[in-house]
Structure 1
């Protein structure tokens, strides 16, 4: 039983570790050598590198510790544990690649002319890393924690909070880097978003789950408790069995797809799950008009 549990945990943690390694490599190999930018708290660490030559691994750890502790207090340990793994592994891999660059084992890709190539590869690398992290239920901390807290406390849309932070940080970066670099950064951000969507197996920011099960109420209760997401129970009747049952309907963010699936299967391994693309979501936890 313990061996099975460890195997299940490792299948989640190892992809998160790989994702943060790819993300850290992209930052140090493509972004920083070419004076490009990134949004959120990672963008702050890059600004500190440009302005004061502070190590990104050090600033990532220092900036995320208070956010992690605040998130632990507000959101609870169950929601924040994989974020802690993401923060810790990102800090480690940033430090590891910094040491490898200092020793000359890795030579960053720096260019003075072909910035479009640098931004394209940066976008692919960062998107691949974050896509893996999100797909397996993790985050790299930073603005994601802030967005979750704002959503819980004030009902603000997570997407809008993250976007506002990204715009703010990239705007401040104009004081330290050329505006041309900002434009190339936008190319990298666009490519990264598309790669994240590709890895997440969906082109949209949310997914709708329809779960048909004899244990739908129990699944709905667990989703509400563990994920803080609203669930609607819809009465239904089996066409073959003629037995009354319920369907659970829930809309979640793209990084929560795997988590919700695992919750449903943990209650009822025979649950019938339908996942649909959602083009636009209005309401609590998403877009608020």
Structure 2
């Protein structure tokens, strides 16, 4: 049986024992309270050296906190990093300067390398048949519902806007100021629900997918690699890499997948999509909503006046 102590985070355990820690162990506690995620990267010896204490003191420290050993504490920290906790993703490494190990960092090059890796892994992992089937379902759906929470709500909003350019009846959930029940009741057979659920998801996301399936809709899940078993969550799953060189997740690969999905939908229904685009542009002109044309005209007039 798992005790409540077993489920406590590293920081919570340190706070419980902090006042009773000997000075040598307290220095290690101070270091880990500042950057608990570093335990997932460095060895016990490296952490002891950084805290100015001995390896024996470090061993006593982790046992005092209720861990079997250092490795158990490290595994817990790695799970927290995988889940995307910013506290654990933060590091004592300073961008543009020296890392805590003394090695020089290269923030732009490191960032570019990680972004390139995210894009490559994400796009190469997409099964063409899954993409084709999902796009076909979205094209032929009676209605499309797009949902997302926290950071995923931003991605869901962008996806809904792009889909709405290509086809009608695309709704974003949850609507502002409204509870979910009023939106979920309209999901029916022949619809498609797209859930954007990047890591640190809310529990309700899985429940919404379940309700949509029960009501006859097919579902597409856009998620990340932290989801242990995404296959059972939806009809189709597209997995995106979100790792970065900082405590902030990267959504460049997610945006690329959204672009791919919407572009594929446009080409799937190119005649209908092109006609819808023309009608939208006509309405833009009638409403004088966009200032790009007037701005270009003014610039051209200004150029003529200087000739």
Larger radius of gyration: 2
Higher helix share: 1
- When the two structures are superposed, what TM-score results if normalisation uses the length of structure 1? 0.29
